[in-house]
Amino acid sequence: MNPSYSLEASNLLADKDISKGKELILNAILKHSSNLTTIRPPISDLKQEYQETLQEFSKLRGANLLYPYLGSGIGNGPLVELIDGSVKYDFITGIGVHFFGHSNSKLIETCLDAACSDITIQGHLQQNIDSMGLLKILTSLSHLPHCFLTTSGSMAVENSLKIALQKQFPANRILAFERCFSGRSYMLAQISDKPYLRDQLPMTYPVDYIPFYDPKEPEESTKRALGALNKIIARYPKQHALMLFELVQGEGGCYPGSKDFFVSLMSLLREHGIAIVVDEVQTFGRLPEIFAFQYYGLEEFVDVCALGKLSFVCATLFSERFTPKQGLLGQTFTSTTSSIRCSTEILKMLLHGGFYGPQGKIAVLGGYFKNKLKQLEARKTELLCDITGVGGMIAFTPFGGNKQKISQFLNNLFHAGVIAFSAGQNPLRVRFLPPMGIITEKDIDNVMEIVEKTLIEGI
């Protein structure tokens, strides 16, 4: 490009009026968000109106909300304000989306820049240059040479499966782990090991399940999984196209695997020419390495990888050998311009914020949170057990896994000022996906104080 010529888009963002406007907006947001310093109960005068709004919302939606949560549009890091005036610690972050919390000034500034763009949403037919930078970062981080952007985690996984199934045709069977959760699209509901997700839906893809890793029996569980995998492969020779891996089971109960476990299975899959697809929609960015497959040292095995949630823009990464035929992948929307720019900014913040490695913020804060739970377990063994997780994915089993008690506990915890969520089944568990990008040990201490008090009240 001729250096003497500058694009009008660059001139626009450098315009003094734009800079002044952004400064005014950011200062105003900071002034008001900084007033949210701790949890608080609902405002009495807003309670009735809030309940009526929730009822209307549920009616329009066609189903009740999982929580009586309607945000006001402002927060302060881990704290979020609802439209009933209450302020709560958000330790589930939209099931892992809001890694940098609420009203993050850097992301708001990025959105303001995006608002000056010529289009609100970008598509695969017409993409702005914003997407190029995002593709470069994701392929560089993953060492997978190709990346296809998409609007949701489900679509990212769907595209991963399409790529692998096309490459492996005519093999069409899919391998997955017991307790896995892949998404709620038609195809992914058939893979997710939750029967109610596919109740009364016709089955179109054969799926075979392998038992997951058990940290209490590492060698035995690995042998069980290998035995099951060998048996299934022998039963359906050359019919399996791929195995879909969750390296930490999120919806399944927040259970991590191990490197030896995964290497054993992936090596066997390699021997039989079965593709290895990794689902990083929930794990991406939340472990002590930015990709879970890197944390477990599995780079040599990964053929295709899906990511999403905290990245805002979701994506499917794939190796050269799995490059799909022209026309297999495509959709109208890539994502919004604000999401694309925020995704790029989030990745830069992650890479330059000291989050990764054994002494990175994720490992340190995740370890601190787990230790606080273990201390509580030691004091109150009747309240909780089976504390699991890694990095920013943490869960435990209270009340012996009693579904009714846990559901009530989560509801009580919400009203006490902490938002968590359930995971797993038989037993049901309590799960946290905290905003690791902005929390402190003090925030964890505050949350744990409320957790302990609410657990004791629930006995």
For 24-72, how does the pLDDT look when each residue is reduced to its tens digit (9 = 90+)? 999 999 999 999 999 999 999 999 999 999 999 999 999 999 899 999 9
The rounded distance, in Å, linking the Cα atoms of 37 and 337 is: 31
| Terminal-residue alpha carbon distance, the chain | 69
Does residue 222 contact residue 213 with C-beta atoms inside 8 Å?
A: yes
How far is C-alpha 332 from the chain's CA centre? Answer: 23
Distances 307 to 151, 315, 318 between C-alpha atoms, Å: 11, 5, 11
Given the candidates 3.40.50.300, 3.40.640.10, 3.40.50.920, 1.20.200.10, the CATH classification of the domain at 114-351 is 3.40.640.10
Token pair for 344: 């790029």
At 104, list the tokens: 């993050």
| pLDDT tens, N- to C-terminus, the chain (459 residues) | 455 678 999 999 899 999 999 999 999 999 999 999 999 999 999 999 999 999 999 999 999 998 999 999 999 999 999 999 999 999 999 999 999 999 999 999 999 999 999 999 999 999 999 999 999 999 999 999 999 999 999 999 999 999 999 999 999 999 999 999 999 999 999 999 998 888 888 988 899 999 999 999 999 999 999 999 999 999 999 999 999 999 999 999 999 999 999 999 999 999 999 999 999 999 999 999 999 999 999 999 999 999 999 999 999 999 999 999 999 999 999 999 999 999 999 999 999 999 999 999 999 999 999 999 999 999 999 999 999 999 999 999 999 999 999 999 999 999 999 999 999 998 999 999 999 999 999 999 999 999 999 999 988
- Residue 291 class from Cβ within 10 Å (0-12 exposed, 13-18 middle, 19+ buried)? buried
**How many whole angstroms separate alpha carbon 435 and alpha carbon 371?**
18
What is the predicted pLDDT for the residue at 361?
A: 98
Domain ranges of the chain: 44-104+357-457, 114-351
At the top level of CATH, the class of 44-104+357-457 is: alpha beta
Distance between CA atoms of residues 41 and 71, nearest Å: 14
Can you read off the two tokens belonging to residue 394? 């943490």
